[in-house]
Amino acid sequence: MRSALAMMTYPPQAASVRASRHFVVGVLEASGRAAMADDVGLVVSELAANAVLHARTDFDVVIYEVDGGVRVSIRDRSPALPVLVAPSASSMSGRGLALVERLVSRWGAGPSTSSSVGGKSVWFEVDDGPAGAPVPDVADLSVEELLAAWSDDVTEIATVITARQDEDGVDVVLPALDAVELLAAKERLDDVLRELQLVLLAGSPVASARGLAVARRLDEAARAFDDVRRQVRRQVSHAVATGGERVALELHLPPGTGERAAAYRAAVEAAEELAEVEGSLLSVAATLARHRAVRRAYLDEIIAATRA
């Protein structure tokens, strides 16, 4: 791989998504690669949005020349690798994988070796020639393929999980729950969190003071509870993808999980209440009530397990 054609660093702000796309398109057009500029820019937009919404750190966009094409790397400062799922047709989140698979020749993710502050790098390559053969929808991929798509070596993900198990805390197995219903609950809430994050990042002028307060509360509670949420989503997605009707969650609960779970549950319910009043701010939040029972069931079990 040759030296970088260009690099730019962006803050975790909504405007950075558009700015990073324009940066990449401009570099490629200037280097005689206008034919691929739009596709590469679209993929960069998706990965930059993930860095803004999930990593919440500054991120670098680096463009390299490689034999027969270009490689683009999105490097953020968060070590957490993406959690991959097979989203349903109604889910608004989790569709970046399908987009990337269709537009690029090769891609992967792993710990960043180019940054002194650690973090991860998500990279992709696009060839100068025609794109490769079409790939199946995300829903048609196996769990193993989904996990492998984000990394040159699946053991990188396994290392992250093993490191978590080495922390202080307790290991619990929750009573079996309806896997499809729980996955639907997780998808709906992820959609709401994405909407709220965009509201906060954009500083929506139409949001009321109460609406912004609820948005910040849920955003903060979800971030504090993210280690457990990631475990739940991975296991539930695996169960559904392999045909399981019920799932008994096996979780590692770090110290303080009970308090964070209770705060998360209360914040979600506050968003439900707000949706009844301010639907324009939380257009998706009204769907949360449909899965209230299964969501409360798993959160209540987590809270109870930490008190045992």
- CB crowding 38-76: b at 16 or more within 10 Å, else e: ebbbebbbbbbbbbbbbbbebbbbbbbeeeebbbbbbbb
Would you call 284 helix, strand, or coil by DSSP?
Answer: coil
Question: Apex CA 147: angle with CA 77 and CA 116, to 5°?
Answer: 20
Per residue of the chain (308 residues), give pLDDT as tens: 567 889 999 998 878 888 999 999 999 999 999 999 988 988 888 888 878 877 788 999 999 988 888 999 999 888 776 554 444 444 444 445 556 667 788 877 777 766 566 788 888 889 886 544 333 333 333 433 333 333 333 333 333 333 344 457 888 888 889 988 898 888 878 777 777 776 666 655 556 777 778 888 888 898 899 889 888 888 888 888 788 889 888 888 889 999 999 999 999 888 888 776 665 555 555 566 778 888 888 899 999 888 75
Q: For position 143, what pLDDT does the model report?
A: 37
| Domain annotation for the chain: domains and CATH numbers | 4-153 (3.30.565.10), 167-307 (1.20.140)
Angle, CA 104 vertex, CA 4 and CA 87 arms, to 5°:
125
CA–CA separation, 182 and 89 (whole Å): 16
What was the pLDDT predicted at 83? Answer: 53
What pLDDT, on a 0 to 100 scale, did the predictor assign at position 48?
A: 86
Contacts of 218 (CB under 8 A, 6+ apart): 192, 193, 196, 267, 268, 270, 271
Name the token pair of 300.
């209540």
For residue 184 the two structure tokens come to 């639907």
Q: For CA atoms 172, 177, 182, 183, give the dihedral sign.
A: positive
**Predicted pLDDT at 239:** 84
Contact 88, 67 (CB under 8 A): no
State how far the Cα of 151 lies from the Cα of 111, in Å rounded to an integer. 9
* Burial class (CB within 10 angstroms; exposed 0-12, middle 13-18, buried 19+) of 82: buried
Q: What pLDDT is attached to residue 169?
A: 80
- Rounded to the nearest 10 degrees, how much is the dihedral formed by the CA atoms of 163, 267, 201, 109? 20
Question: Which letter does DSSP use for residue 120 in this model?
Answer: E
Instruction: Tell me the two tokens of residue 8.
Output: 């730019």
Nearest to 60 by CA among 107, 7, 21: 7
Whole-number Å distance between alpha carbons of 168 and 254: 6
How far apart are the C-alpha atoms of 176 and 106, rounded to whole Å?
38
| Cβ neighbours for 65, distance < 8 A, ≥ 6 positions apart | 1, 2, 3, 5, 31, 71
Contact 47, 108 (CB under 8 A): no
Q: How many angstroms from the chain centroid is the CA of residue 10? A: 18
Torsion angle in degrees (nearest 10) through CA of 298, 303, 307, 308: 0
Residue type, 272: E
Predicted local confidence at residue 137, as pLDDT: 34
Query: In this predicted structure, what is the pLDDT of residue 148?
Result: 38
